[in-house]
Amino acid sequence: MIIKVEGDKGDLDILFVTPKGHSKGIGYAAWCEVEKLHPEVKVWETVTPYFEKRNIHFYVNRCGFHIVEFYNSHHPDPNDSKTAEQIDEQFPEGMFRFEKRL
């Protein structure tokens, strides 16, 4: 897991669980620990590719995030100039941005 915390804002950059560990509560337990370790964070943010249904289920249904934006070639992330290139090349279907407000 890679996170960044600045004041009351947190970014989840990567949360990886090996496929053999899927559906065993490992990712959820890890996320719960992050929230406990950083009670000062009031807004968490992350992104995931449009096609990653498992990730969408995990963030929305398990961890309580909300989908707040859909980045695609017609609507790139205004805060990241590299996003448009990444979406076109790596994620042509786009990416969702999630927020969790505590």
Residues 10-65: pLDDT tens digits?
Answer: 999 999 999 999 999 999 999 999 999 999 999 999 999 988 899 999 999 999 99
Q: Are 43 and 11 in contact (CB under 8 A)?
A: no
Q: Are 68 and 44 in contact (CB under 8 A)?
A: no
What is the fold, at CATH topology level, of the domain defined by 2-101? Answer: Aminopeptidase (3.40.630)
Measure the CA–CA gap between 39 and 49, rounded to whole angstroms. Answer: 27
H-run or E-run covering 57: helix 53-57
Measure the CA–CA gap between 56 and 7, rounded to whole angstroms. Answer: 26
Amino acid at 92: P
β-strands 43-49, 95-101: how paired?
antiparallel
pTM recorded for the entire structure: 0.86
* DSSP for residue 58: I
State whether residue 26 is helix, strand or coil. helix
What is the domain partition of the chain in residue ranges? 2-101
